[in-house]
Amino acid sequence: MASANVNQEPANSGWSIIIGPHGGAFNWKLGELWKCRDLISLFVWRDFIALYKQTILGPAWYVIQPLLTTLTFTIIFGKIAALPTNGCPPFLFYLAGNVLWNFFSSCITKTASTFVTNSGLMGKVYFHRLAIPISTVLSTLISFGIQFVLFLGFWCFYLVSGAHVQPNAWMLAAPLAVFMVAGYALGGGIIVSALTTRYRDLAMLVTFGVQLLMFLTPVIYPVSTVPERYRWLVSLNPLSPVFEAFRCGFLGGGAVTIVQLAVSFAIMIAVLIVGLMLFSRVEKTFMDTV
Write the pLDDT tens digit of every residue in 121-146: 776 777 777 888 898 899 899 989 99
- Residue 282 maps to a domain: yes
Q: How does residue 1 score in pLDDT terms, banded at 50, 70 and 90?
A: very low
Convert 81-149 into a string of H (helix), E (strand) and C (coil): CCCCCCCCCHHHHHHHHHHHHHHHHHHHHHHCCHHHHCHHHHCCCCCCCCHHHHHHHHHHHHHHHHHHH
- Residue 1 maps to a domain: no
Residue type, 157: F
State the CB neighbour count (10 A cutoff) for residue 179.
14
Q: Which residues contact 77 (CB under 8 A, 6 or more apart)?
A: 83, 90, 94, 220, 221
Q: Which residues contact 145 (CB under 8 A, 6 or more apart)?
A: none
Model confidence pLDDT, tens digit, residues 201-253: 677 788 888 888 999 999 999 888 888 888 888 889 999 999 999 999 999 87
**Domains identified in the chain, total number:** 1
- Residue 163 maps to a domain: yes
Model confidence pLDDT, tens digit, residues 73-112: 999 998 888 888 888 899 999 999 999 999 999 999 888 8
The 8-class DSSP code of residue 56 comes to S
Residue 4 above 60 pLDDT? no
pLDDT at 28: 67
Q: Count the helices and strands in the chain (H runs, E runs).
A: 14, 0
User: Whole-prediction pTM value?
Assistant: 0.85
Q: How does residue 17 score in pLDDT terms, banded at 50, 70 and 90?
A: low
- Environment class of 25 (CB within 10 Å of its CB; exposed 0-12, middle 13-18, buried 19+): middle
Whole-number average pLDDT of the chain: 82
Q: Which residue has the higher pLDDT, 203 or 66?
A: 66
- Residue 154 maps to a domain: yes
Q: How does residue 45 score in pLDDT terms, banded at 50, 70 and 90?
A: confident
- Residue 273 maps to a domain: yes
Residue 19 above 70 pLDDT? no
- Ranges of beta strands (E only) in the chain are none
Alpha carbon 210 to chain centroid distance?
A: 11
Residue type, 25: A
Residue 5 above 50 pLDDT? no
State the CB neighbour count (10 A cutoff) for residue 205.
14
pLDDT at 181: 96
Q: Which residue has the higher pLDDT, 15 or 11?
A: 15
- Residue 48 maps to a domain: no
CB 165 within 8 A of CB 158: yes
Structural domain harbouring 185: 54-289
Range name among 18-27, 182-191, 194-203 with the lowest pLDDT average: 18-27
Q: How far apart are the C-alpha atoms of 34 and 12, rounded to whole Å?
A: 24
